[in-house]
Amino acid sequence: MKTSSLKEWTYEEFMSLPEGGPFRYEIIDGELCMTPSPSPRHQEISRNLLRVIDVFLLQKNLGKIFAAPCDVVFSKDPLQVVDPDLLFVSKEHLSIIGEKNIQGVPDLTVEILSPTTATSDRRVKHSLYERFGVPEYWIVDPATNTIQVFRLVDGHYPAPIEYGKSDRLESPLFPGLSIPLSEVFSS
């Protein structure tokens, strides 16, 4: 992850950054972070997970799921803007969906590891999501075909539940959904 620590960015400056292109932008503790576009494997996993959850959500009307790029603004002072690979906003919290971004805490954030983001996803974003109270955080590892699920308990993420390619992932956020990870990790 490339960062610029020359200055603390404002929300207005962040919104003036170019859309698209070879980089994704985030602001963590006021510092600009840029990452290269994800790999095709990363995008396949994202698409497969999105498809399974989205079909379920359309049937059950439980909320909305978004794929990157979709900015989540946790705070403007200091500026905290992240772009998770996937995020879910439950029906009860749809009011945080703004015209340009998500203004508040989603019910779920999902980060799919890449060589350039793995350390940040496991440490920096883990800490940030915990600090802002994201109820559930998934770390998807394409190298090991695993998903670690962190669920907030008393303001902290205890040790994760880990699921492998042969498992089915279930979450209280999606009652009745059992996600076959063999389909998520298929190419």
Per-residue pLDDT of the chain (187 residues; tens, 9 = 90+): 444 445 677 777 777 777 666 567 777 777 887 777 788 999 999 999 999 999 999 999 999 999 998 999 998 877 789 999 999 999 999 999 999 999 999 999 999 999 888 888 999 999 999 999 999 999 999 999 999 999 999 999 999 999 999 999 999 999 999 999 999 998 7
Tell me the fold of 37-71+83-184: tt1808, chain A (3.90.1570)
Sign of CA dihedral 159, 165, 168, 171: positive
H or E stretch at 102: strand 102-103
pLDDT at 38: 85
Nearest to 26 by CA among 62, 64, 79, 87: 79
**Angle value at C-alpha 151, between 149 and 155, nearest 5 degrees:** 145
pLDDT in the model for residue 33: 78
- What pLDDT does residue 20 have? 62
In sequence order, the β-bridge partners of residue 80 are 75
Specify the DSSP class assigned to residue 18. Answer: P
What's the whole-model pTM score? Answer: 0.88
Tell me how many degrees the CA angle 49-15-114 measures, rounded to the nearest 5.
35
Hey, what are 105's tokens?
A: 């805490």
So what's the pLDDT on residue 1?
45
